[in-house]
Structure 1
């Protein structure tokens, strides 16, 4: 009987250490981390208003995927204020958006 108890104890310890080693892996969430942000892509837009003193332009734009924004009409600051002289209300443009100082902004804009 003594040998049976010793054998049971040894088997119990072996099973426990194997279960302990495998345990955390079984419960781990092995999903990939959040996708990295998408690179800025030009978005088709229409110039609705230009405010040179504030350096902002209001655009009716399509979805901005890299910022997670749906299509809408919104005013954005422009990285290069001097470029605003090249546009007028009603112009069809391609605008590239990104975050500047943590806020959505137009980093490039070209005529369509």
Structure 2
């Protein structure tokens, strides 16, 4: 009987300490509203935009060749490379030689332009 009481006391102590640990300190939690979080996401997207120059538009393959500066969100240095485009309509927005701001992300294992603006 003594072992059962000890076992129950230990279980209670463990579950109380686990609950207290899981609750932790909520002082650092972001309690911003959904609208504020959405604005933060848009600001982050603008920060991750890279600058480049269109070197080739391949509408048949759905790709752009871009000479670009550093892609900070991907940890890449400046270079010229080929990207897929998320939306084929992006290809009709640019011509060879256009200066652009764009966001590139890894989508299904391929570097893909997900957002594009002419400068």
TM-score (norm 2): 0.59
Aligned residue runs from structure 1 range 1-112, under 5 A = 41-112=48-119
1:29-79 C-alpha deviation (Å, 9 max, x unpaired): xxxxxxxxxx65110100000000100000000000111111000010000
Q: Which structure has the highest helix share of the two?
A: 2
Q: What SS does structure 2 have at the residue aligned with 1:53?
A: coil
Any unmatched runs of 5+ in structure 2? 1-43
Q: How many residue pairs were aligned?
A: 74
Any unmatched runs of 5+ in structure 1? 1-38
Larger radius of gyration: 1
Distance in 1 between the 2:74 and 2:51 partners? Answer: 15
RMSD: 1.1
